[in-house]
């Protein structure tokens, strides 16, 4: 029990297998490590296994005492009954294959956005999950942040009156460094033809979509600003993704309540 007298997580241990030990795989370990700060939480997550073909990525996890399995083959984790939950955090070109395999094996999993490299892949993943008994969620998304939840509650409450324009943006500056080496997020074949919109765009769109604002028309200004970056050997290699996107979306106005609509017509 922590010194302040509050019980930490009290419930059962949830053994997590991480597929993809990169930025987000390591982030999950950090999140699980902070779980003890939660008061009386009904479960205790523990990362017990990691699959990644890159030895350097796997090595990072060898310092984590709860991790007992390090493998290059994600299928070992999908087949491992000693794992309660999978966290799938891999490049977008692998989402479909690995998410479908996890679903077919009946595994519970947290996947990462965008749930497929393109619309076709996303549709096939969604179809495979339709009616599935598996617990599946997209993890670490904007609407779960307290600030986003406050914004959603405020907009939905009506306290803002008639909303005529919404600006939703995401400033992500590390790509302004043109010396930053290339990675899969800058290559359409691995990230997807939608580029930055598949990498970061859903964070921007997620709160408006959660509020039910479905665009009827979309106008897009897309920029491929950085056309090449240093490759593994330092020589420039092509970057063929959209780096910046500005979307102007028109959303049908909400149907006014009947009385309100009549009043407006009479006032003309
Ligand atoms: N929700 C968020 O806030 C957020 C933030 C960043 C990334 N993401 C998403 O998380 C996912 C991973 O992104 P990242 O930033 O961690 O990328 P990353 O490049 O840092 O890590 C990806 C890891 O996957 C590994 N990998 C490649 N092929 C593999 C295979 N066959 N089996 C297992 N592992 C394999 C790579 O070696 C790498 O270590 C993407 O879907 C990305 O869009 C989400």
Nearest atom (ligand 1) to Cα of 139: 1
Run of H or E including 237: strand 236-238
Q: Where are the domains of the chain?
A: 12-138, 163-250
Provide the pLDDT confidence category of residue 257 given band limits of 50, 70 and 90: low
Mutation choice for ligand 1 from 18, 24, 92, CB with most ligand atoms inside 8 A: 24
pLDDT for 20 beyond 90? yes
Each residue of 83-128: pLDDT tens digit? Answer: 999 999 999 999 999 999 999 999 999 999 999 999 999 999 999 9
Ligand 1 neighbours (beta carbon < 6 A): 19-24, 51-54, 57, 74, 89-92, 94, 112-113, 140-141, 183, 199
Joined tokens for residue 218: 């979309």
| CA dist list (Å): 98 to 58, 72, 83, 122, 182 | 18, 14, 16, 12, 24
Strand 109-111 to 43-51 pairing: unpaired
Global pTM value: 0.90
3-state secondary structure of 191: helix
CATH superfamily of 12-138: NAD(P)-binding Rossmann-like Domain (3.40.50.720)
Tally of helices (H runs) and strands (E runs) in the chain: 10, 10
- Atom 5 (ligand 1) nearest CA: 24
3-state secondary structure of 219: strand
Q: Is the distance from CB of 102 to CB of 110 less than 8 angstroms?
A: no
pLDDT for 196 beyond 90? yes
Taking the alpha carbons at both ends of the chain, their separation in whole angstroms is 68
Nearest atom (ligand 1) to Cα of 19: 33
State the fold for domain 163-250: Dihydrodipicolinate Reductase; domain 2 (3.30.360)
CB atoms within 10 A of CB 60: 18
Q: Burial code of 76-108, b = ≥16 C-beta within 10 A, e = fewer?
A: ebbebeebbbbbbbbbbbbbbebbbbbbeeebb
Each residue of 199-235: pLDDT tens digit? Answer: 899 899 989 999 999 999 999 999 999 999 999 999 9
**CA nearest 206: which of 150, 129, 144?**
144
3-state secondary structure of 19: strand
Mutation choice for ligand 1 from 74, 76, 90, 202, CB with most ligand atoms inside 8 A: 90
Same fold, 12-138 and 163-250: no
């Amino acid at each position: 029990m922590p010194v302040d007298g509050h019980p930490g997580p009290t419930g059962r241990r949830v053994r997590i297998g991480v597929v993809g030990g990169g930025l987000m795989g390591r982030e999950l370990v950090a999140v699980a490590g902070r779980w003890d700060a939660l008061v009386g939480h009904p479960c205790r997550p523990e990362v017990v296994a990691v699959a990644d073909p890159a030895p350097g990525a796997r090595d990072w996890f060898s310092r984590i005492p709860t991790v007992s399995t390090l493998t290059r083959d994600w299928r070992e984790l999908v087949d491992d009954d000693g794992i309660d939950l999978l966290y799938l955090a891999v490049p977008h070109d692998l989402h479909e294959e690995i998410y479908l395999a996890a679903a077919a094996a009946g595994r519970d999993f947290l996947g990462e956005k965008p749930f497929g490299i393109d619309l076709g892949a996303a549709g096939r993943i969604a179809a495979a999950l339709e009616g599935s008994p598996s617990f599946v969620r997209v993890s670490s998304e904007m609407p779960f942040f307290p600030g986003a939840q406050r914004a959603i509650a405020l907009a939905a409450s009506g306290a803002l009156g008639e909303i005529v324009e919404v600006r939703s943006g995401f400033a992500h500056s590390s790509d302004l460094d043109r010396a930053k080496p290339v990675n899969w997020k800058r290559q359409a074949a691995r990230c997807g033809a939608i580029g930055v919109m598949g990498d970061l765009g859903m964070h921007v769109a997620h709160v408006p979509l959660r509020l039910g604002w479905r665009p009827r028309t979309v106008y897009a200004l897309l920029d491929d600003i950085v056309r090449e970056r240093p490759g593994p050997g330092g020589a420039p290699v092509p970057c063929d993704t959209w780096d910046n996107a500005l979307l102007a979306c028109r959303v049908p106005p909400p149907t006014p309540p009947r009385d309100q609509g009549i009043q407006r017509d009479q006032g003309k």
